[in-house]
Amino acid sequence: MSYIKIRFGNPVDCAGSNKYQMFQTINPMFSFEDTWKPQMDIYETDDEIILTAEISGVTKEELEIEIDDKAARISGIRKPSLPAKDARYRLAEIQYGKFERVIFLPAQIDTEKISATYQNGFLHLRMGKASIKKFHTIEIEEEK
C-alpha cells in the first residue's frame, strides 16, 4: 500500500522559490484593476430562458443588468470586507472589485417578459422567449 506524503509546519519550497513568503504578501485589496466573471447556470424550457448568477456579497444597488433580445449583461462591483488591522492574509480566493459577464442567449427574448429576483447571493433572471414567427405559404397560380 502506498501513502500520500503530507508536510506540516515548514514552508513549501518549489523550484527555489519560497511559496510561504508569497502567501504572506498576498493582499486582494489591491486587485481592483481586473474584472472577474461570476459563475452562471443557464437553462431553458419551451417558453423561457432561466439564468442564475452567483454574486454573493453584492447589493442590489451595486448590480446592473442589461438585456436585449439576444444577450444579457450582468455587471457591478463587490466591495471587500476589511480584515482586522493586525491580520495577514494566508489565503485569498474571493474575488472583489468590478465584475462583468455577457451571455449570448440561445433564443430570442421578449423584453416585455423578464423578471429578476436576488436571494441568498444568487441572481435569478427569467426571460420569456419571443414568439417564433411562422411563415405563411401561398400557392402560386399560373397567369391566364
What would the mean pLDDT of 102-116 be, rounded to a whole number? Answer: 90
pTM of the model: 0.67
Summary mean pLDDT of the chain: 79
CB 32 within 8 A of CB 96: yes
pLDDT tens readout for residues 54-105:
999 999 889 999 988 888 999 999 998 888 888 888 888 899 999 999 999 9
User: What single-letter amino acid sits at 20?
Assistant: Y
CATH architecture of the domain with residue range 33-79+94-129: Sandwich (2.60)
φ/ψ bin of 54: left (φ > 0), alpha (ψ from -120 to 50), beta (otherwise):
beta
**48-52, 82-86, 117-121: the lowest-pLDDT one:** 82-86
